[in-house]
Amino acid sequence: MEVVAYNAYDLKYLSAADINYNPALGTGQIQIRDIRYVTMEPRTTWEFCQMLDKKYLSSARRSFETWFALALANGWIKEEEEELL
């Protein structure tokens, strides 16, 4: 076997159109539409996180409340009391 070509991408810079959140894959799984043809979109890490949150919320008509419960359960955000300790 011989590798003749490869591409490496910083996930943060893949365009929103190229990233798909598929609930059938499981929580926290994203899908790249076609890794051979992607568009790069400059953004900060914060903007990338916001884009992923929006995609999650729009998939399967999820609510902010379900996202918030999942975020708390997985330690993605902390409650104010924990921050004061």
pLDDT tens, position by position, 37-77: 999 999 999 999 999 888 888 877 778 888 888 888 888 88
Would you say the pTM of this structure is higher than 0.85? Answer: no
User: Is 5 part of any domain?
Assistant: no
Residue 24 lies in a domain: yes
Is 57 inside a domain boundary?
yes
Return d(Cα 40, Cα 18) in angstroms, integer: 9
The pLDDT confidence band at residue 15, using thresholds 50, 70 and 90, is very high
Collapsed DSSP state (helix, strand, coil) of residue 30 = strand
Q: Which of 18, 10, 17, 21 is nearest to 53 (CA)?
A: 21
What share of the chain has pLDDT > 70, as a percent?
A: 89
Write out the residue range of the structural domain in which residue 72 sits.
11-84
Question: What ranges make up the beta strands (E) of 1-85?
Answer: 19-21, 30-32
Farthest-apart Cα atoms in the chain, separation: 56
Q: Is residue 78 part of a domain?
A: yes
- Whether residue 36 is predicted with pLDDT greater than 80 in this model: the reply is yes
What value does the mean pLDDT take over residues 18-47?
A: 87
Whether the CB-CB separation of 16 and 31 falls below 8 Å is answered with no
Q: Is residue 72, in this structure, part of any structural domain at all?
A: yes
Tally of domains within the chain: 1
